[in-house]
Amino acid sequence: MSSGQQIPPWLQEQIMKMQQAQQSLQSIHMQKQQLEMDLAESDKALEELNKASDDDPVYKHAGSILIKSNKQDLIADLKERKELANTRSTVLKKQEERVKESIKEQESKINEMIKGTSPGGAASTQEAPKS
């Protein structure tokens, strides 16, 4: 397309949909990174708890304070947290796959639309099929 031509509204709509999908993918990547950090933190805490004897005092982080707790309760909490994080990670991987597939479809659709809108071509005046 030459710089004098405007992008047809239906093509702009497809481009916007693809950009939204790319933003979703970026958000998913950030959530996955956060989960990986949480998992690493839980693993490290479990490792340290396992080193401690049953008689050693252990503390739990609650907001900006530490509260005395017992070792077995903390281990159970951390294992539950890890399980939840792993489940969430699985969900995010599935979302990521769907969004990547959507982006590929949008790219393909946009490329087809661009090929169909050659200067002076009949497609440039027609409305694209709705998806």
- Whether 122 has a pLDDT exceeding 50, the answer reads no
What's the angle, vertex CA 122, arms to CA 118 and CA 125, rounded to 5?
Answer: 95
Give the burial class of 5: count Cβ atoms within 10 A of its Cβ; 0-12 exposed, 13-18 middle, 19 or more buried.
exposed
Angle between helices 9-51 and 71-116 (to 10 degrees): 160
C-alpha span between 15 and 107 (Å, rounded): 8
- Whether 127 has a pLDDT exceeding 90, the answer reads no
- Whether 129 has a pLDDT exceeding 80, the answer reads no
Ordered by start, the domain boundaries in the chain are 9-32+45-118
8 Å CB contact between 110 and 103: no
Which single residue is written with the structure tokens 């769907």?
98
Q: What is the pLDDT of residues 25-72, one digit of tens each?
A: 999 999 999 999 999 999 999 999 999 998 899 999 899 999 999 999
Q: Report the largest interatomic distance among the alpha carbons of the chain, rounded to a whole angstrom.
A: 83
Q: Which one of 3.10.20.30, 1.10.3720.10, 1.10.287.370, 1.10.357.10 gives the CATH number of domain 9-32+45-118?
A: 1.10.287.370
- Whether 123 has a pLDDT exceeding 50, the answer reads no
- Whether 126 has a pLDDT exceeding 70, the answer reads no
Residue 113: which pLDDT band, with cuts at 50, 70 and 90?
confident
